[in-house]
A and B are shown apart, each in its own frame.
Chain A
Amino acid sequence: EAGVVQSPRYKIIEKKQPVAFWCNPISGHNTLYWYLQNLGQGPELLIRYENEEAVDDSQLPKDRFSAERLKGVDSTLKIQPAELGDSAVYLCASSLVDGDTQYFGPGTRLTVL
């Protein structure tokens, strides 16, 4: 069974540019999460989806970050415009149902210059 797929694995952009990350969860997993992991820290939740509905986006900086999961399967996280402080690893995870174990993808390492 394929795991959580994320692309790209690495992205380098200049500040003020837009960037987008893509995630395809494990087949059949209804719940999808985006996490932010700063260097030397554990991941922090940005947004959680139940199917196509964002049920927890309280930690998402909505002035520059947006996310969508239109058909309840894959998801895109966007930053526009990117700032220097956005340099981090963006992790996607999925779980079968609400409350189940979360399985993570390899992450996208973003560097903003």
Chain B
Amino acid sequence: AQKITQTQPGMFVQEKEAVTLDCTYDTSDQSYGLFWYKQPSSGEMIFLIYQGSYDEQNATEGRYSLNFQKARKSANLVISASQLGDSAMYFCAMREGYNTDKLIFGTGTRLQVFP
């Protein structure tokens, strides 16, 4: 079974609007970490936001927030006030256990922001 599932191959959003990118995960570990990365056409994976499984509050980083619903095993990324520069691929990833380094990535969602 896939560990990380991103069901939206592509999403469109108008500039200045908010958009939610879905991510569900599968793990039996109690301790894990969830990450979102942005990959523009240049190819570099840019770290956006992190949520630990024991964090009680949803993570926020500027215009990015992570809607963490532990019981549903979902970690959706919310981008507020979309900008044209947000157009890119977005990957959700999970690190299982504490102090392990293996990241498991989803297949990504391509976001396109239009004027």
Interface residue ranges, A against B (CB under 8 Å): 3, 9, 31, 33, 40-45, 48, 56, 89, 91, 93, 95, 98-99, 101-107, 109
Contact call B45/A41, Cβ cutoff below 8 A:
no
Q: Is B114 engaged at the interface, CB distance under 8 Å to the other chain?
A: no
Q: Is the CB of B103 within 8 A of A102?
A: yes
Residues of A within 8 A of B46 (CB): 104
Chain B residue numbers with a CB within 8 Å of A103 are: 47
User: Chain B's nearest CB lies how many Å from the CB of A36?
Assistant: 11
Range of interface residues on B (Cβ < 8 Å): 20 to 34
- Most chain-B CB neighbours within 10 Å: which of A31, A42, A48, A56? A42
Whether, in the assembled complex, B79 has its beta carbon less than 8 Å from a beta carbon of chain A, the answer is no
Cα(A56)–Cα(B101), bound, Å: 9
The residue from B37, B44, B95 contacting A106, defined by CB atoms under 8 A apart? B44
Q: Given contacts A101-B50, A105-B44, is CB(A33)–CB(B101) below 8 Å?
A: yes
